[in-house]
Amino acid sequence: MNFLSNITIGQYVPKESFLHALDPRSKIIFNVMMITVIFLVTDLWQYALITAVTVVLMIVSKISFVYYMKGLKALWLLIALTAVFQVFSGGGNVVWSFWVFKITNVAIYNTVFITLRLVLIILIASTLTLTTSPIQLADGLESLMNTVRIPKEWSHDFSMMISIAFRFIPVLAVEADHVIKAQLSRGAKFDRGNFIQRMKNIVPLLIPLFVGAIRMAEELALAMEARCYRGVEGRTKYRQLVFKKKDYAFTILSFALISIAFIHF
């Protein structure tokens, strides 16, 4: 049972690709635009366009499709629950019914598109986190927040929290993997029984994982204090973000996609 292998969100995969070389601000803008479009579009051809763009980004990133699918595998329960709740709601002609439950043609239509919407959001977000290091992501967020006149103290603290959160995802995954292996060595069985029994088996993992997370957070706080961290006050940037021609082109592409997505034939 390898818990770490199914966690790809928040992990950075270094590669020599066009996406990796882009300024993090252009990628953040593109992701915000794409996710906004995903929430607003309703037509089949619009979803086809967004899906094609997502696939192209995955290819350009030079990261294996299998790695992207692992991110979906880790969230399969969320996707499945979303589909189940949606398929039993909505009007239209009844296709199947049992007791108080009924499935209509409109519900099936909405379920397909809402599930596709959720999958596309996860994949789009993955193209950002997999091709952008946590430090670059934090610097890009802080720079964009300063651009829209958000106080530097707030933008720095927010970007620092985001950076730490992304760094802790793989760290907590490793910690969870260690706890699982320790429990397995003591005779625990996580892959046996029905769904409810498996959920009960996970409970003993939560307490040591929670305690480990608190311990790591305390150690991080002590390390930051020992290095005289005082927020944005008196800090300078070692890495300066500079927009290049390809960054401008990528940003213009994001606005162009929004325009194209809302054209109705």
Average pLDDT over residues 64-84: 75
Matching residue, tokens 């290819």: 59
Q: Are 103 and 112 in contact (CB under 8 A)?
A: no
What is the total residue count of the chain?
265
Q: Within 13 Å, how many C-alpha atoms sit on residue 25's CB side?
A: 19
Average pLDDT over residues 124-139: 84
Q: Are 17 and 250 in contact (CB under 8 A)?
A: no
96-130 burial: b if 16+ Cβ within 10 Å, else e: eeeeeebbbeebbebbebbbebbbbbbbbebbbbb
DSSP secondary structure of 248-263: HHHHHHHHHHHHHHT-
- CA 96-43-121 angle, 5° bins: 90
Mean pLDDT of the chain: 77
Paired sense of beta strands 94-98 and 101-104, if any: antiparallel
Question: Which tokens is 242 given?
Answer: 């500079």
34 or 151: which leads in pLDDT: 34
* pTM of the model as a whole: 0.72
Query: What's the confidence (pLDDT) of residue 265?
Result: 42
pLDDT in tens, 236-259: 666 777 788 888 888 888 788 777
Query: What's the confidence (pLDDT) of residue 106?
Result: 67
List Cα–Cα distances, 254 to 41, 77, 232, 263, in angstroms: 15, 31, 31, 15
DSSP code, position 62: T
What is the signed CA dihedral for 71, 129, 151, 222, rounded to 10 degrees?
80
